[in-house]
Every structure is written in C-alpha cells, then in structure tokens.
Amino acid sequence: MKLQRKNRLRALSLGAVAVSGALALTACGSDETGAGASGATGGTQSAATGSIACDDARGEILAAGSSAQKNAIDVWVKNYQAACKDVRINYNPKGSGAGITNFLQGQTAFAGSDSALKPEEIAESAKVCKDSQAIDLPMVGGPIAVGFNVPGVDTLVLDAATLAKIFDDQIKTWDDEAIKKLNPGVDLPDTKVQAFHRSDESGTTDNFTQYLKAAAPEAWKYEGGKAWQAKGGQSAQGSSGVAQQVKETAGAISYFELSYAKGGIKTVDIKTDATEPVKATTENASKAIAAAKVVGKGKDLALELDYKPTAEGAYPITLVTYEILCEKGNDPETLPAVKSFFTYIASEDGQSLLSDAGYAPLPTEIATKVRETIASLS
C-alpha cells in the first residue's frame, strides 16, 4: 500500500492536491513560500526553499497523524513535489492517536504525533520495524494558542488555574471573579463560557492537559493523555474543528496551534511566574522549547518540555510534533523518498518556512541531532 507504481502516479489527479495545498496555505498566510522548481527531478528550487535533493525518491508515500502540523506539511509538500516530480506525498491529518495506530499496523510510511511514543508503542513497533523499533524525530515546534470569542473583549489574560477551572466546567460565565481579578479594567460580559475540546485523540490535547497538570495541579486533577478526560464542555474534530467553533460561537474558548488562529481569532495572554503575561508567538514558544531535554534513548529524540518556564517572554503551552518511523527496517521501496523529504524539512531551508506559518523552528542543537539521525535511517 505504501508505494504505488509510476504508471499509477501518472494517473493520479493533481487537482485535489493542488486545491488542498492552496487552501492550507491561504489559511496560514504562506502563499509566498512556494517557489518554482526546475522541471527535472533533483532540480534546484529558488532561494525561498533552497536545494532539494530528490536522489532516488519516487512513488507515493502514505502518512497520517497530527493535525497540528498540517499547515507546515502542506507548505513543505508543495515545495518538495515541485522539485521531485516522481514523488507524491499523501498526509492525512486525522490526529496523533489514529496516525500512530496506522503506522503500527503497517499502513503508512511514517506517522506524525504531538506526543512521543509510549514504551508499549515502541515495543509494538518491532512488528513493523524489522530487527529494530520506531523512533521519534522532533520536526515542528510551536505554541498551543488558547483562542477566545468573548463579545466586546479584545485582550484577555488567564493563568493555568483559571484555565483549568474553565475547561473543567467550574467557571460558567465570563464575568467570573477569577477572570475579573486577572483582567482589571476590562468590561467582561456575563456571556456563558463555551469551552471546546478535541473529540479525537490528539497530541495537542495531551500537551495542553500536561501544561494544566504541571502548572495548576490543585485545579486540574486529571491524568492527561491524548483523549479528553474532563467533564462538561463541547467537542469538535481536529484543530480546524475547534478553531472554527471558537470563530463562530459567542463565549467560546479552545486550544489549538497558533497557525489556526490566523483567521482573526483572538488569543489569550498567559500569566506565568514572569513579571508580564506572555503572548502566544512563535518567538516566545521557541524560548520555552529551547529549554527542552532529550529523554529518548539511542536515536530516539523524544523531548521533555518545560511547562512552567520562569524566563521573561517564554510561552508555557508548547508542543513539538514528531515524525515517527523505523530506525531500521523501513520499507526499501519508500525509504528513499522518505529520507529525501525528511532531509528537506529538517534542513535550514525547510525549517526557515515555519515562522511565517505560525510554527517555531527547531532549536539548533536539536535540529542537528535530527539531521544526523535522518542520514542514518535504513
């Protein structure tokens, strides 16, 4: 299933791919990132994307997982396929949990996940990774924005404890005393709070709830994980689904990657132990991600994030999206294309496109390790 023959590739309709890419790029404001490529495989892109080495890459790559990285993937795929004409990359942003399941069942060449593999998932990966196991490669970083739609309110400050009570259905209206205390001088309406969470298993949910658990343990009593556990609230599918609900619903609040807020959704400033509340920006997220520690073993580069940063301007609610594939034992028919694509997206040229799309490029030290690991995949 992973690799279709070249004659099928020629028969594929490119219209759906082009429309999907165009819509995603419009949503994240990155139309200028796509550059023209030379007509030959292995050709050189313009300065916007740098050099893409296609090598022996060809065929169709099936992948699935994190919707958090969809806007980044769309930018990368557009540029890569313009250079590597013999490759078609089909990424389904169905959520981290579903993506990992597909990969462990041998249905895809790689998965995208906003949470690193669990020990039992690594053990299970031996079934699809011949004489090896799956590894986590961090590729996309960024802030988890908390978007809100409160009539008459343009700027809103919240802390971890208040967010925990909002998403646990303990705070019912926007003029609650806890919110007033954090926003002196703001005319808060008595509009009902409409908290939205992800209906699908999501690494974004995992990271958001890990933040609540770490920063407000007295207020957030749930263990966390990809599946939403708190009571109350409403749900929607994917990052795009919850973002759309915030945009359309008075009194709504939800969590999603910053790139999904670019349609005019206002985002919460987060009060931390620093002197000033912190805005959700890629630069502020990078300050927090730079302090992450590699906790994976061997070539697994799973990171431990700091959800309670004290540095000025460090945004506390961040995530890192991992690309998950086998360290060894990858399908030999898809491996050249996967390595070629990963080499591009982990490069300085690939990473340089992330900020404009609402993501944070990998810190230099981590990016160097990722590139070394990609080169060794077999």
Which pLDDT value is given to residue 51?
75
Rounded to the nearest 10 degrees, the angle between the axes of helix 335-346 and helix 70-83 is: 110
Query: What residues does 65 pair with on adjacent strands?
Result: 112
Find the range with the poorest average confidence among 5-9, 36-40, 152-156: 36-40
Model confidence band, residue 31 (pLDDT cutoffs 50, 70, 90):
very low
Q: Cβ(276)–Cβ(347) under 8 Å?
A: no
Distance CA 285, CA 360 (A): 7
Select the more confidently predicted residue: 30 or 264: 264
Distance CA 290, CA 320 (A): 11
Model confidence band, residue 7 (pLDDT cutoffs 50, 70, 90):
very low
Q: Does residue 112 carry a pLDDT above 70?
A: yes
User: CA 111: distance to chain centroid?
Assistant: 12
Element holding 158 (H helix, E strand): strand 157-159
Select the more confidently predicted residue: 358 or 3: 358
Query: What sign results for the dihedral spanned by CA atoms 46, 49, 50, 55?
Result: negative
Per-residue DSSP letter, 45: P
Select the more confidently predicted residue: 19 or 326: 326
Q: Does residue 23 carry a pLDDT above 90?
A: no
Which pLDDT value is given to residue 78?
96
Structure tokens at 219: 């207020």
Mean pLDDT of 183-188: 97
What are the residue ranges spanned by the domains of the chain?
6-141+326-376, 144-289
Determine phi and psi for 244, rounding to 5 degrees.
Answer: -65, -40
Select the more confidently predicted residue: 249 or 2: 249
Residue with tokens 């960024």: 142
Model confidence band, residue 26 (pLDDT cutoffs 50, 70, 90):
very low
CATH code assigned to 144-289 = 3.40.190.10
Model confidence band, residue 140 (pLDDT cutoffs 50, 70, 90):
very high
Domain 6-141+326-376 annotated CATH 1.10.10.10: no
Which pLDDT value is given to residue 50?
57
Q: Do 144-289 and 6-141+326-376 fall under one CATH topology?
A: yes
Distance CA 270, CA 273 (A): 10
Q: Does residue 25 carry a pLDDT above 80?
A: no
Q: Does residue 266 carry a pLDDT above 80?
A: yes
Q: Does residue 48 carry a pLDDT above 60?
A: no
